[in-house]
Amino acid sequence: MFVEIFYYIVAAFFEILGCYLFWIVFRHDKSSLYLGLGILSLMIFAFILTRVESEFAGRAYAAYGGIYILSSLLWLFFIEKTNVTKFDLIGASFCLFGASLIIFSALKKLS
């Protein structure tokens, strides 16, 4: 279980990084060289997500969604230096609860 959560966290980092690199090129006029790094980061993200122990890809992606949302809010706070609102936290809590149900029920079926 901890290995899967670790994979989800690492995957989220690379997905957010990859997308953020595209964001800064197209929204903040940074060098297009960042696009290559963004593509590489997104490739790493996709590979890492395949390491998650899950019978079905869709279930792995659904469970990952909660981790992605939490990671995005952490990115917002630490990288973009923007405060997270109470609505961000409430929404993320609902998503994490749902993702936890998916993760734990899937892990019970695999054991």
Give DSSP secondary structure letters for 64-95: HHHHHHHHHHHHHHHTS--PPPHHHHHHHHHH
| End-to-end Cα spacing for the chain | 11
Q: What pLDDT does residue 1 have?
A: 73
- Residues 40, 91 contacting (CB under 8 angstroms): no
Where are the chain's structural domains?
2-110
Which tens digits make up the pLDDT trace of 57-84? 998 999 899 999 999 999 999 999 999 9
What is the pLDDT, as a whole number, of residue 105? 81
